[in-house]
Structure 1
């Protein structure tokens, strides 16, 4: 049980950021076994027409910081037990002209599992609509592409491949001399991809849930060891490692202890973010409910009356005095009982009533002079 699945990241090149990463083999096997059981229970009542091995397992690597730049070209990690074999269906996206590469890959140097070759021009012409792209994505287990056209793949394939289905093509180096590309294609089919992300998390597939548990654990250990080396090259510190299956929660297998010191103050972080957004847009970063001083419970369980001063969110000039807190403003409103005569709005209304009240009786008593003369003539 004390055996470790992942050795030190580097023992010859001095200290590296992830030298302290240790993943116990027993913990890794336990997580894989639990996910396999969950998937088996979920697929027991599934439609038998669908592929029972479509669920995959992914290694989730959480980083302590976001990489400075994303590398679109992935690094292929060799797996001891490949996810795809001769029974899998693989599609290759080639450079134009399609006919030349189709003859090379399907006739001269056939690769087991590679069943379709499609050129970029034909791909753009026949798969414009999202429904066509979804149909293409669901028709194959794996997609490969020529290394020279990988830069245009996100625009051609769109969010269906890169965001929803998570099946971006793996670039393969095809030489101009049209030499035997079989070795490079087999290397891509038998491995998995590590892509340096634009966010704080890296996901690397390492197997299908239908594979034996010992094969999945061995693949996961190989992915962890290689991923640590790749992160060390970029100087990125690893925060945690989890194992996740399709439609299942991630199970942690290793986590770095929290650094010493105070934890991140989310209240202050959000206040700073609101003030920076307000300064950029020229609008106030405080809501109407905060202006009135009403009790609104924050995410931390605190009310506005117990929060910090308003000056921390750069709105002190808009509300009260610069050193005045919301709690002080609330207390003044409660303690001071204001008379109706002190309110300027009511004073204005009362003055109008006085003017109307003084003029109305005079108009009712005193008749106009013309009407008075007529009334005297009639009386006579």
Structure 2
């Protein structure tokens, strides 16, 4: 069974639980509404837990019960991944065959991921799916992809799919524990939480065993000390809450002491971290100061200054050659042409007749 530490063990009286179960059965039988429910699967019976202090973190506790809450009729839905090179119908047949070959007796409705995206995309289809099944399981390989497709109502109604490893060697055992067991969600928004532990179709002894097992598991697995549980009630959907456990004020002192110890340990851890950070920062500052001092103490070495050498003539020629020759202005060209024409007019033309005349005159 479940190992418990003496600090977390609750003094739950079995005779008190038996009296509460018998009174609850008598109340359900006397009402006309319960007679209709008894003809079906029965009415759910739950534990209502009230805590002394509101926990800081949300916690989910899985509880394995000696007597299963569900019959072999199919009220369980399993979301699976899409098998490669298979249609949705072939995937459904593949996983149903796998579960029957492994020896699972419960009838489970298989819905592949592609079918969930297409056929259950409208809001009304999701609401019908939520109402048709009491428990939802999901393949561990697609668990992270489900929240965006199933919607927030699954989580508000506390019907979030539970993860299952379909490749495990102990698949039937793991699924049987989830199907026949239950889970408690301890919220950090209030001091009360509820978990289903039985149904009205069970016998009184089966109900008592389930209640005792559930309380011992919760007190052992609760993140805060088990003494944080203040009152435990047993109730059905239509009946009043019947008390089966009440703690005294000494438990409140234990819870406060545990919180103080937790705070002190957290404070000590913080101080250690701060001291370590300070030591590291001091070391870094010391190293930087030493580096600065060593740099200051270093004697600068004299390095000869290299004078710039003259550039070779070829480079100057090449650079001069690369320079563009300026084009002559338009006015200067005109002046030159005018002078040339004047000189041409002043110089007489030498002809044969002129030479003869010069010879006669002589």
Shorter-chain TM-score range: 0.5 to 0.7
User: TM-score under structure 1 normalisation?
Assistant: 0.55
Q: Which moved more, 1:28-37 or 1:121-130?
A: 121-130
- What does residue range 168-207 of structure 1 map to in structure 2 within 5 Å? 168-175=160-167, 179=169, 181-199=171-189, 200-207=191-198
C-alpha separation between the residues in 2 aligned to 1:151 and 1:80? 31
Check conservation: 2:139, 2:163, Cα contact below 8 A: yes
In the TM superposition, residue 229 of structure 1 has moved relative to its aligned partner by: 0.3
The answer for unaligned runs of 5 or more in structure 1 is 1-5, 262-380
Deviation at 1:59? 1.2
What does residue range 232-247 of structure 1 map to in structure 2 within 5 Å? 233-235=223-225, 237-247=228-238
Instruction: Please say if residues 43 and 52 of structure 1, whose CA atoms lie closer than 8 Å, have aligned partners that are also in contact.
Output: no
- Partner residue of 2:241 out of 231, 247, 250: 250
1:250/1:82 Cα in 2 relative to 1: closer, same or farther (>3 Å)?
same
Q: Which has the higher contact order (CA 8 A, sep 6+)?
A: 2
> Partners in 2 of 1:114 and 1:59 — Cα distance?
27
- TM-aligned CA distance change 1:190 to 1:64, over 3 Å: same
Query: Which runs of structure 2 are paired with 1:1-380 in the superposition (5 Å)?
Result: 9-11=4-6, 16=7, 18-19=8-9, 21-44=10-33, 52-71=40-59, 74-97=60-83, 102-110=92-100, 111-164=104-157, 166-175=158-167, 179=169, 181-199=171-189, 200-231=191-222, 233-235=223-225, 237-258=228-249
Say what the alpha-carbon RMSD is for the aligned residues: 3.2
Deviations along 1:236-275, whole A, 9 cap, x unmatched?
Answer: 62222111211333221112224699xxxxxxxxxxxxxx
Q: What is the CA–CA distance in structure 2 between the aligned matches of 1:135 and 1:43, rounded to whole Å?
A: 28
Give the direction of change, closer, same or farther, for the CA distance of 1:217–1:185 in structure 2 (3 Å limit): same
Secondary structure at the aligned position of 1:195 is classed as strand
**Counterpart of 2:31 in 1: which secondary structure?**
helix
Residues 1:45 and 1:90: Cα distance change in structure 2 (over 3 Å)? closer
Q: Is the 8 A contact 2:78 2:136 kept in 1?
A: yes
Change over 3 Å in CA distance of 1:152–1:59 after alignment to 2? farther
Whole-angstrom CA distance in 2 between matches of 1:43 and 1:151: 44
Gaps of 5+ in 2: 253-362
1:39 is displaced (CA, Å) by 2.6
Q: Is the 8 A contact 1:85 1:112 kept in 2?
A: no
Aligned 8 A contact 1:130 1:160 in 2: no
CA distance in 1, matches of 2:77, 2:213: 26
- Kindly tell me the number of residue pairs found equivalent between the two proteins: 243
Larger of the two Rg values belongs to structure: 2
In proportion to residue count, which structure has more helix? 2
Per the TM alignment, residue 226 of structure 1 is displaced from its structure 2 partner at its CA by 0.7
